[in-house]
Amino acid sequence: MEKLRQILRDNHIQVTQQRLEVLRVLRELNTHVTVDDVVSALRERDVTLTLATIYNILSIFEKKGLIMKIESAGEPIIFDVNTFPHFHILDSETREVRDFVDDNLMEMISGYLQEHPVSGLDMQRIDLNLIGHME
Ligand SMILES: [Zn+2]
């Protein structure tokens, strides 16, 4: 738990027992998770938090950069525990989400956007989803 406490402190998040529990399951799941995944993982540990509390904690974690939201038009919202720059493949049939890491592509896109900035946009990050079915 001490390591988890430190992670919260390093990200300027006030340490509470509930936040530690949510962070612990996120790190155990260590992948792309929906709120439902978090709820059931907490339940397995006999931790009962209201849905509102869980949403609230995830939203704080997201704002502080501890997790990131994978933007996609479809529900449900998927959070990513890995916040290093990477893309995603969304399987349109199985709804599975996979990491797609291509540093050259990331450099190409960010290089292009540095040369051709979008006027008025204070860009925070680049998110690219490839959508299709994996054989
Ligand atoms: Zn990912």
Q: What is the pLDDT of residues 12-65, one digit of tens each?
A: 999 999 999 999 999 999 889 999 999 999 999 999 999 999 999 999 999 999
Tell me, in angstroms, the distance from the centre of ligand 1 to residue 95's CA.
14
Tell me, in angstroms, the distance from the centre of ligand 1 to residue 43's CA.
24
Across the range 68-73, mean pLDDT stands at 80
Residue 124 banded pLDDT, cuts 50, 70, 90: confident
Cα angle value 90/60/1 (rounded, 5°): 95
Q: Does the global pTM surpass 0.75?
A: yes
d(CA 116, CA 112): 6
Q: What is the DSSP letter of 102?
A: -
Tell me, in angstroms, the distance from the centre of ligand 1 to residue 110's CA.
18
Tell me, in angstroms, the distance from the centre of ligand 1 to residue 5's CA.
24
Q: What is the CATH number of domain 1-83?
A: 1.10.10.10
The token pair that represents 109 in the structure block: 């896109």
Q: Does domain 84-135 have CATH number 3.30.1490.190?
A: yes
Average pLDDT of the chain to the nearest whole number: 92
CATH 1.10.10.10 domain span(s) along the chain: 1-83
CB atoms within 10 A of CB 130: 12
